[in-house]
Chains A and B, each alone.
Chain A
Amino acid sequence: MADVIVEHGRVAGSASARKRASLHNALRRKSTVAFFLTLPLILLIALLVLYPALFSIHLATLNKSMQKFVGFGNFTFLFKRETFWMVVKQSCIFAITAVVFKALIGFIVAHFVHNIPAKGQRKWRGMLLVPWVIPPAMSTLAWLWLFDPSYSAFNYTLSLFGIGPVNWLGDAAWARFSVILVNVWYGAPFFMIMYLAALKSVPEQLYEAAAIDGANWWQRIWYVTLPMMRNIIAITTLFSLIVTFANFDIVRILTSGGPLDRTQIFATYAFRVGIESSDIPLGASVSLFMVPILAVAAIFILRDVSKRGNES
């Protein structure tokens, strides 16, 4: 009898052991662990990103008083507005120009920093990152004082050389230049640090081989550095394009979209229409208009990245 009991115990024990083993195996699987570890973040994103995104889609389908469903009515209304198309054009000019200059300056500065001996490099890296780590709302206020319509520090300096005064924020062309300049100043360090990391991962042997083949500095950049950095350049460009397209604080603080709406971009125009003019559905529609533009850019860039990933 005692033997039988022992046997039963063994049977029951082995079943639970099997269960424990399968749970153990499941937990040992990397994907399961990864899922559980990212679950809090997924929930947070669902709450803070997904819900507002879906809610803004819902808002964009309502009429001005938010009492009637109008489908795509807000979008068809926007398509007939001259100011809206000006905002689309300006947002593209702002984002593309700023990203190109950020990438270019980031690339050049990354090379300079890369060539500094390792001992002093940390100091330079830290200093060059300063614009990126200061909250943009704060640093833009400092820029506003530099550009101040009546008391510009830049104009004061220029006047010492008999130049100016430049109407930094009151003239449409200069105002566009100013907002792009501040965006480049703020964003270039991000490109610099990303490119620096990419540069450090390029094997030294490739440069040695290129040198043996007699490649000059330009050929080394064109045939070695750039191909090795292509993926990081693509990802960084995409990321920056999204952030720059959605920029709000720099334009809001410097020009509020003026003069004559010539620096108005999607986010500032959405705020003007949605909050200041109490037309929240139209404001939501303006901000949602960015989505297809960015989605197309993301598809092209990411497709290129994955293609190269497969090739390698």
Chain B
Amino acid sequence: MMMEEIKTTIIDRIKLHFSDAVEKEFSYNRLDFSVKKETVPSILFYLKEEMGFKHLSHISCVDWLEEGEFEMIFILWSPEEKIKVFIHTRVDRSNPVMDNIDMIWRQANTYEREMKEMYGIQFTGLEAPEEFLLEDWNGPPPMRRDFDTEAYAAKTYWERPGREDALDVRETVEKRTGEVLPEFAKKYKR
């Protein structure tokens, strides 16, 4: 079967079973669906058990800060048809709760631990140790876009002695040329 036919078949079957699925086609062997978050476990289960998408390649997350949402992306692979399907869903950023899916693929457990630590997403019923990669972490989830790395570093780590002699480039040049920067302009300095 040609790739286009495979894609059409997948779209038809998915839309028949999951009325909220909205497809988006990409060139070659990629096909995307967006669904409500409640649909995620059943659509993943269906794709795995009924349509040959046996392999979970990846779970990823995007922080749509301005829209107040996280986007979760599940990437599946069908070894027979050589096609990948992306399942997208949106989660409320102020209450980021998702269903745990590690009973469908055991390896999802690892990805979910990563999402939990890096984005603060809670997976209902996830059984895993509290810490993943970050040791003794006490800050907010660091992959969130409103995480201020610089402020965190300044607060958390002590200043190594011997760094007090650092100079500001702009001020060094100012001093050399005799330029006097007016007070009201200073807020536009780098």
Same complex for A and B? Answer: no
Chain B residues in contact with chain A, CB under 8 A?
none
